[in-house]
Structure 1
């Protein structure tokens, strides 16, 4: 199963707006994607409520996993989102 481990770059971590942006992007992928931390079991990346339960802060590492056709591309896209400061991007739009 393909996986990507990345550090979360958003200044507020994976909370509020960054979580909403990320979960929306995850729900648009052709495969189901999970996200996990070293301390927490995997949850659906498309669920904002589940994302918030992970309590991911700025600089924390998360692992994304997906399986099936399009998994690699989905993971690449979602990993790049997490590696950008989604707080800053929202303020500039």
Structure 2
């Protein structure tokens, strides 16, 4: 299992555009990937899961990957989040 934690810096929070970028990045890997924020968690391959979490600016999120390419999955998702200006690099 590999994970990283970050604070959402996008002033709108985790909305559809960056969620789509994250899903695209997550779909490139075989590992099971999820996002956790507070007591909520969601599948990083489901836009409905992600958007229903209502993650706001300033919320802390943890990305968790489990599987054979977990390290690469976390690195790829983190890069997608930075590129989408969702978190700071």
Report the TM-score range of the alignment, normalised by the length of the smaller protein: 0.7 to 0.9
Structure 2: gaps (5+ residues): none
Identify the residue that residue 20 of structure 2 maps to in structure 1. Answer: 20
Higher mean C-alpha deviation, range 6-15 or range 70-79: 6-15
Q: Any conservation in 2 of the 1:11–1:85 contact (CA below 8 Å)?
A: no
Residue of structure 2 in register with 1:86 after alignment? 84
Number of positions where the alignment pairs a residue of Structure 1 with one of Structure 2 = 86
Structure-1 residue corresponding to 2:33: 33
The answer for the alignment partner of 2:55 in structure 1 is 56
Length-normalised TM-score, structure 2: 0.81
C-alpha distance 85-11 of structure 1, shift in aligned 2 (>3 A): farther
Following TM superposition, where does structure 1 have runs of at least 4 consecutive aligned residues deviating by more than 4 angstroms? none
Higher strand share: 2
What's 1:91 paired with?
A: none
* CA apart distance, 1:9: 3.1
Gaps of 5+ in 1: 89-93
Q: Which has the larger radius of gyration?
A: 1
**Higher helix content, 1 or 2:** 1
3-state SS of paired residue (2:12): coil
Q: Is the 8 Å Cα contact of residues 35 and 45 (structure 1) preserved in structure 2?
A: yes
